[in-house]
Amino acid sequence: MTRTGIADREPCPNRIVEDIGGAFAMGAVGGSIFHGVKGGWTAPKGSAFRGSLSAIKARAPVLGGNFAVWGGCFASCDCTLTAIRRKEDPYNAIMSGFLTGGILAARAGPRAAGQSAVIGGVLLAMIEGLGVMITKYTAPDLPGPEDYAQAGVQDPTAPPTMGGLGSFGGGPGGLFGGGGDGGGGGAPPPDVVDGDRAITGPADDENTFGSSGTFSTTLEGESEEKSGGWWPFGGSK
């Protein structure tokens, strides 16, 4: 099982089966080791291996079954609390341990059920708290401004600066800004040649933007006398 986070666990219907199988395997393996050592230690002299094997066959499956029952009850309570609370956090595991301990000891009476429930809740609280502490101290730290500076990457959490807003502001070279004196005009347009007419930028004294925003042009190579003075249709008025 490679999943380590709460959000990476199996969905609830499959989680119950998974927890039952995992708990049975844990109980069977652990019981085999424990009862194997115990059976060999208490066996008569010269028959340690036979006594160990007999103890494993007799007790390991029982311990595995007890673990499976506990795991199935715990997973069922966990899934029920998850559906009721509509969230999945360590509190579900703590309450599930409390309920599981009380349910499994219910046949022994209310007092024994209460004691078992408290033990189950405290045990799960210790396990969950240890898991949270391990995750907190083993998780990598978030990179700081110095780390971003060393990597040559801009800090995405840093507030915007005036330099970053220059391309959209009214400063020099801005998208909506003007020249260095804060004027409203942008950069002068390049020269454009259209047929026999030459349209130049504001550097030409005769071709400038007027106060109304219009742009005046003159015909290159034509004098005012040839065009008829100020009359636009040629000739004299």
- Give yes or no for a contact between 155 and 145, defined as CB atoms under 8 angstroms apart: yes
Label residue 75 by pLDDT band (50, 70, 90): very high
R_g over Cα of the chain? 42
Q: With bands split at pLDDT 50, 70 and 90, how would you rate the model's confidence at 23?
A: very high
User: Rounded distance, CA 190 to CA 209, Å?
Assistant: 14
Give the pairing of strands 192-194 and 197-199.
Answer: antiparallel
Q: Which residues pair with 198 in a beta bridge?
A: 193
pLDDT given at position 218 = 46
- Examine the pLDDT at 188 and tell me if it is beyond 80: no
Would you place residue 15 in the very low, low, confident or very high pLDDT band (cuts 50, 70, 90)?
confident
For 130-153, what is the mean pLDDT?
A: 79
Report pLDDT for 20.
92
Query: Residue 77: is its pLDDT beyond 90?
Result: yes
Question: Are the beta carbons of 83 and 76 closer than 8 angstroms?
Answer: no
What does the pLDDT read at residue 8? Answer: 56
The pLDDT score that the predictor gives to residue 140 is: 76
pLDDT, position 61: 92
**Calpha distance 175→186 (Å, rounded):** 8
C-alpha neighbours within 13 Å on the C-beta side of residue 20: 12
Report, as an integer, the average pLDDT of 194-200. 50
| pLDDT at site 139 | 77
Q: What is the mean pLDDT of residues 133-143?
A: 80
Higher local confidence (pLDDT), 227 or 28 = 28
Does residue 4 register a pLDDT over 70?
Answer: no
Task: Please check the confidence at residue 58 and state whether its pLDDT lies above 70.
Answer: yes
